[in-house]
Amino acid sequence: MALPVIAVFDIGKTNKKFFLFDKNLQEIKEEYIKIPQIKDEDGDECEDLHALSQWVLENVRTVAASREYTLLGVNFSTYGASLVHLDGRGQPVSPLYNYLKPFPEELQDEFYAKYPETEINLATASPTLGMLNSGLQLYWLKKRKPETFRQIRHSLHLPQYVSFLISGEAVSEPTSIGCHTKLWDFTKQDYHEWVQKEGIASLLPAIVPTDSRFTREIGGHPVKVGVGIHDSSAALASYLFRIREPFLLISTGTWSISLNPFSEENLSFSDLENDCLSYLSVQGKMVRASRFLLGYELDHQLAILNKIFNKPESYYKTVVPDENIMDAIVGGELENSFYPARVAGTPVVRGLFPEDNWKPESCANYEEAYHQMIWGLVRIQVAFLELARGNSPAKKVYVDGGFIHNQVFIRLLRHFLKGYEVETADFPLGSAYGAALMLGDFTDE
């Protein structure tokens, strides 16, 4: 007899993951792939949208046609700050532009001349982030690529685009809109007035709840198709459904996102300058958050260490916590302090690291340099967690995502968070699990 399953695509910048869960949301299958980046028309790296789309469609078709499984539902968790622009036939009219693509400085100045920076950033709870403000991607298209802009019928955030591939329904959804997009006015609970004035609102489909789903016949069976969810919000949802007391969540990966769904204080402009922002939860409530490129910076630093110490790419996975090295670092006996001068796309908290004197080549060996590098990343992580905490009384911290497997990171994180109870996730599937939850209860089906 075929096993009833729920399929979830968890699409990160680096790894694309495909999971099957049973009706009780127990994982029964997982697959990981990496899709090589391509170049957009300006020569900047970007996601291969065609390859990504084909991977999604092929996996759904394969499961639906399988005699081993009966597909009950499918949903999608993906990274944010990325839009797919469709024409009237539902076909993409542009590449999936990279959110790290440079945003023209003169265009940014033009935008803020019309819409004062302090006012709009506070209203939209969005720091000035260029392409990471996905709303500004549309402004950029309108001003720099008007011929493309004129072809757009719908602009979908990435989670809703991959859902559209299966459901054929073009919709918008709160967690993707409320994610440093500069689109959503948190004070009015509606799109900001600039979205209307610039003729962009008409390109954004109707907003539906995050737990919406459409029933489609796939492989001869009715299948619930979710509308997709922003990955950090999906990770948070999997905790909010189970835990009632105040907590903080560190969702790790390419980005480390610190999330506080229990804060009611408004952000200050200083918070925004330090990359503190607000998200929308699956319930449409404000979530205080901060983020920095933890995984991106780790990869950059590992490449340097591997070259200096002549180690293979995955050697770091063999390094276990060395208490002697950690005691020396924490006690100040090793003065070679770490400060990632190039945490791309995010400012480091001012005054936390006064200078950059990170010289890994002066370390005795790879292990010592690795511990020092992780020590520095953990200090930055703690600073960003404190930004997200604000005045919340939470003393419990959950850590989710890929870094729960990094023993040195977790050991040092616990050292620097002595006033907190730090708990790693009992499953590294927070985003995928959260997306599956949005499909509802299948136990009676």
Q: Does domain 238-445 have CATH number 3.40.50.2300?
A: no
pTM given for the model: 0.82
The answer to whether 60 and 226 are in contact (CB under 8 A) is no
- Beta pairing, strands 248-252 & 396-401: parallel
pLDDT at residue 344 in the model: 41
- Picking from 115, 107, 110, 156, the residue whose alpha carbon sits closest to that of residue 131 is 107
Q: What is the pLDDT of residue 179?
A: 85
Q: What is the pLDDT of residue 318?
A: 94
Residue 284, token pair as written in the block: 């449409």
DSSP 334-385: -------TT-TTSPPPTTTS------GGGSSSHHHHHHHHHHHHHHHHHHHH
Q: What is the DSSP letter of 60?
A: H
State the sign of the Cα–Cα–Cα–Cα dihedral 104, 110, 115, 117: positive
Per-residue confidence in pLDDT tens, the chain, 445 aa: 899 999 999 999 888 999 999 999 999 999 999 999 999 999 999 999 999 999 999 999 999 999 999 999 999 999 999 999 999 999 999 999 999 999 999 999 999 999 999 999 999 988 898 999 999 999 999 999 999 999 999 999 999 999 999 999 999 999 999 888 999 998 898 999 999 999 999 999 999 999 999 999 998 889 999 999 998 889 888 888 888 889 999 988 888 989 999 887 788 888 887 778 888 888 888 889 888 889 988 998 999 999 999 999 999 999 999 999 988 887 777 666 665 544 444 444 444 444 456 788 889 999 999 999 999 899 889 988 998 998 888 899 999 888 999 999 999 999 999 889 999 976 556 789 999 999 998 876 6
> What distance in Å separates the CA atoms of residue 115 and residue 198, rounded to the nearest whole number?
11
pLDDT value at residue 355? 47
What is the pLDDT, as a whole number, of residue 342? Answer: 46
Hey, what are 379's tokens? Answer: 């200090």
- Alpha helices, DSSP H only, in 168-268? 174-177, 193-197, 231-240
Cα–Cα distance for residue pair 277/300, rounded to 1 Å:
25
Rounded to whole angstroms, the Cα distance separating 96 from 370 reads: 35
Architecture of domain 3-227: 2-Layer Sandwich (3.30)
Place of tokens 């997306």: 435
**Is-same-fold flag (3-227; 238-445)?**
yes
**CB-neighbour burial class of residue 40 (10 A; exposed 0-12, middle 13-18, buried 19+):** middle
Q: Three-state SS for 83? A: strand
Distance (Å, whole) CA 108 – CA 111: 5
What pLDDT shows up at residue 21?
Answer: 95
Structural domain spans, the chain: 3-227, 238-445
